[in-house]
Amino acid sequence: MNKYQLPSDSKLRSKEFVFGVATSSYQIEGAVREGGRVPSIWDTFCKEPGKVDNGDNGDIACDHYHLWKQDIDMIHALGVDAYRFSIAWPRIIPEDGVVNKQGLEFYEKIIDECHALGMKVYVTLYHWDLPQYLEDKGGWLNRETAYKFADYAQVVSNYFGDKIDVYTTLNEPFVAAFLGYRWGEHAPGIFGEREGFSASHHLMLGHGLAMPILRENAPNSSHGIVVNASPAYPYSEKDQGAADYSEAENYHWFLDPVLRGKYPELVVERQSMNMPMILENDLNIINAPVDYIGINYYTRSVNRYNENGDIESVPQVDAEQTYIGWEIYPQGLTDLLVRLSERYDNLPPIYISENGAAGDDKCVSGEIHDTQRVTYYQDHLQAVDEAIKAGVPVVGYFAWSLMDNFEWAFGYTQRFGMVHVDYKTQKRTLKQSAIAYKNMLLERAEENK
């Protein structure tokens, strides 16, 4: 397949629909001790034995800090409308009350280059790389961190203003809070039910505090939040309650306070002993209007009650899986989007801000035939099209990821990129999935001339 086939009547063919690629700072930049950057919680976490596969770290990663110009040229050559990336908080505010202009200027070069090439920029303020000096004061378990995040949002948006086309406050607060402070799988590696929910509330409070600041400093930009979401399905008829709870904790917990001004009752009741301290005006702050919601989708979950009444996920061992072991289930993306439109009367425009698959990709004679990923993207683009035809206001799609990179606790063992990276030489090679994406976008551009 040399390009993704879009139905002739698909809104994905219109020039108004945004196609892009996505990355994040710690996963690609490297240069962790250059340009005035200070350590993040991920620099610390990677040094702890057994936390990251092979003891990998982001010290060099894709060396994007030095190779950013060629990477932006590569992105432009794909024909995308937009580039979604994150700013590293440790590059901007190296200590309380100090602003590192060198860090701001690094991202300004990227933003200016994207605009010069006709691409919009979608910038995430927080993609999990909290400055270590804030973690030393409690991190997201400390309510004060929410206010520090607002200060950081002030610095970035005051400097860039409307030059950033689309601002995202947080990427996947579920992962930052629950994998980082509840289950200990991600930085900073803390275990605790109450801790996880406390961190989640402070993250959401930080989002709410930042929103009016972003609107004031960048009134012509769009502002929102990105959540990861896995639609849940019952293992049997008697397990519908397990699936309902899975969705409530997985993503309603983060979307309900933004769109409804309250946390979902299913979670409040089941986790009553672990609820965070919620002050009187907190939910009003979090309920600030948003211009869009970003949805990161990879797979679904199938849930049941076990013999103890606990909810567990049931692996679908007979289904096709990616190299990371995640079930490939495109219908889940359509179902998820339709469920969101049914749940939220005030659902704003939706971006599919991440979607992709890990593969066991090998470069053979200068080519990477990532056949499974090609099919994955084709089927998920079709799923987005079906959701739009069902009335869901999806306005854009970003492939994850632009290139192979540091994949958090998996280190460099998992390759999600459309572009292959040889980590020894830093050579970039377009995989078949990228070539198909490029050809699709070239065809669309011809149609819209």
The token pair that represents 345 in the structure block: 């009367």
pLDDT given at position 266: 98
What is the mean predicted confidence (pLDDT) over 134-155? 98
Instruction: Quickly state the pLDDT bin for 99 (edges 50, 70, 90).
Output: very high
Q: What confidence score (pLDDT) does residue 263 get?
A: 98
Note if 185 is an active site residue: no
172, 249, 327, 386: which one is catalytic?
172
Lowest pLDDT segment from 156-160, 220-224, 361-365, 433-437: 361-365
Is 425 exposed, middle or buried (CB count within 10 Å of its CB: 0-12, 13-18, 19+)?
exposed
Judged against a pLDDT cut of 90, whether residue 363 lies above it is answered with: no
Q: What is the pLDDT of residue 60?
A: 98
Average pLDDT over residues 324-330: 97
pLDDT in tens, 313-325: 999 999 999 999 9
Q: Cα(30)–Cα(406) distance, rounded to whole angstroms?
A: 10
327 is catalytic: no
Map out the domains of the chain as residue ranges. 11-447
Q: List pLDDT tens digits, range 406-445.
A: 999 999 999 999 999 999 999 999 999 999 999 999 999 9
What is the pLDDT at residue 274? 98
Binding residues for substrate: 27, 127, 171, 298, 400, 407-408
pTM strictly above 0.95:
yes
Percent of residues, the chain, with pLDDT higher than 70:
100
Distance CA 197, CA 188 (A): 15
- Name the active-site residue from 247, 249, 354, 386: 354
Give the annotated binding-site residues.
Answer: 27, 127, 171, 298, 400, 407-408
Task: Give domain 11-447's CATH superfamily.
Answer: Glycosidases (3.20.20.80)
**Does 1 have pLDDT greater than 90?**
no
User: φ, ψ for residue 13 (rounded to 5)?
Assistant: -80, -20
